[in-house]
């Protein structure tokens, strides 16, 4: 499409491309709907706007193809007026996301975010063990890839509860197209299952809200998962659960299924287990590093197994 025609469809006030309805002032200057609402008079001739519309330009705007609003960020799509809204809702160009690693200033699009996360791996052995100290109110976060999309999988441990949340890294309007399940089962029996399920949320939701409102996360009490713990020596206990991500409308099996072994150390105090039971990661060679907040006094270890469809191991 000749770009000179697109120039004729630029709003003279904001320079955005005109689309129906295209309003006019008394002189005949055309402006976009947003400027028509914001301004009382035409900025070109200072005459008042009327209720008349420029049907000639409206007809033309329905026939040409517009560049994507994220063209400056690399999207090369050309779209008709009817295609623009749906494309923009799903276009990943131009969207910027912060790294979930504590204190990391990185901001980038999903592809750059994935590359950034991968660049943080510092694995030089077949097995890498990260010993992390966790306290109530802190959490673990990992990057997950499923359905060619990226997600933050976050777990928080406080007030005798484990909180699970999944955030979609993309257009916020698409977040509720996905949901996740966390399933607990007894070790070596695969019986007496406990399943948590929740919709994914967008990255616009802060961690404070994410774990404070049930609309954003699932919660299970430590007492509820006690029967799913496999105790080891020295008060070690292993909590096993499976993570699945589903896309609404897909009948096929979930794209993501992962078995997770969380080892937790329960310190005894007056013959009672300390209530602060918090896992941290023991990684393998192909894992990305756990980006947990650090501090506190409860020392815990966890090991996890990887499904071949996963980007990383939790």
* pLDDT for residue 138: 62
Give the domain range for residue 16: 3-90
Query: What pLDDT band is residue 238 in, cutting at 50, 70 and 90?
Result: low
CA separation for the pair 182, 259 (Å, rounded): 10
Query: What pLDDT band is residue 237 in, cutting at 50, 70 and 90?
Result: low
Query: What pLDDT band is residue 188 in, cutting at 50, 70 and 90?
Result: low
Quick one: 276 and 174 in the same domain?
yes
What digits encode the pLDDT tens for the residues 11-37? 888 888 888 889 999 999 999 888 998
CA separation for the pair 21, 5 (Å, rounded): 18
Q: Is the pTM of this model over 0.75?
A: no
Quick one: 170 and 23 in the same domain?
no
Q: What is the CATH number of the domain that holds 74?
A: 3.30.40.10
The listed range with the strongest mean pLDDT (68-77, 174-183, 281-290, 299-308) is: 174-183
Q: What is the CATH number of the domain that holds 263?
A: 2.60.210.10
Residue that terminates a domain, selected from 38, 64, 90: 90
Quick one: 152 and 43 in the same domain?
no
Residue 308 lies in a domain: no
Q: Give the mean pLDDT of the chain.
A: 71
What digits encode the pLDDT tens for the residues 61-120? 888 888 887 777 778 888 888 888 778 777 777 788 999 887 889 988 888 888 898 887
Answer yes or no: is pLDDT of 250 > 50: yes
Percent of the chain beyond pLDDT 90?
A: 12
Answer yes or no: is pLDDT of 266 > 50: no
**Domain count of the chain?**
2
């Amino acid at each position: 499409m000749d770009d000179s025609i697109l120039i004729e469809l630029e709003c003279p006030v904001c320079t955005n491309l005109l689309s129906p309805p295209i309003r006019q002032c008394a002189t005949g200057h055309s402006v976009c709907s947003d400027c028509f609402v914001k301004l009382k008079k035409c900025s070109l001739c200072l005459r008042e706007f009327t209720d008349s519309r420029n049907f000639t330009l409206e007809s033309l705007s329905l026939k040409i193809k517009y560049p994507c609003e994220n063209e400056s960020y690399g999207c090369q799509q050309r779209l008709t007026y009817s295609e623009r809204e749906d494309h923009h809702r799903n276009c990943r160009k131009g969207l910027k996301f912060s790294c979930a690693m504590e204190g990391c200033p990185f901001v980038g699009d999903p592809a750059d975010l994935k590359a950034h996360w991968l660049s943080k791996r510092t694995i030089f052995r077949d097995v890498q063990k990260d010993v992390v100290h966790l306290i109530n109110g802190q959490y673990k976060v990992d990057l997950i890839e499923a359905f060619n999309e990226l997600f933050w999988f976050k777990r928080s441990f406080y007030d005798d509860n484990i909180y699970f949340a999944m955030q979609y890294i993309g257009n916020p309007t698409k977040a509720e197209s996905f949901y996740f399940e966390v399933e607990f089962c007894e070790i070596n029996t695969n019986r007496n299952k406990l399943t948590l399920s929740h919709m994914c949320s967008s990255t616009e939701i802060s961690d404070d809200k994410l774990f404070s409102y049930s609309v954003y996360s699932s919660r299970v009490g430590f007492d509820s998962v006690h029967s799913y713990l496999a105790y080891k020596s020295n008060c070690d206990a292993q909590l096993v659960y499976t993570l699945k991500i589903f896309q609404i409308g897909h009948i096929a099996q979930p794209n993501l299924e992962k078995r997770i072994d969380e080892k937790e150390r329960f310190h005894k105090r007056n013959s009672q287990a300390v209530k602060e039971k918090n896992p941290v990661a023991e990684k393998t060679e192909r894992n990305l590093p756990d980006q947990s907040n650090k501090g506190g006094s409860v020392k815990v270890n966890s090991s996890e197994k990887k499904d071949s469809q996963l980007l990383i191991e939790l």
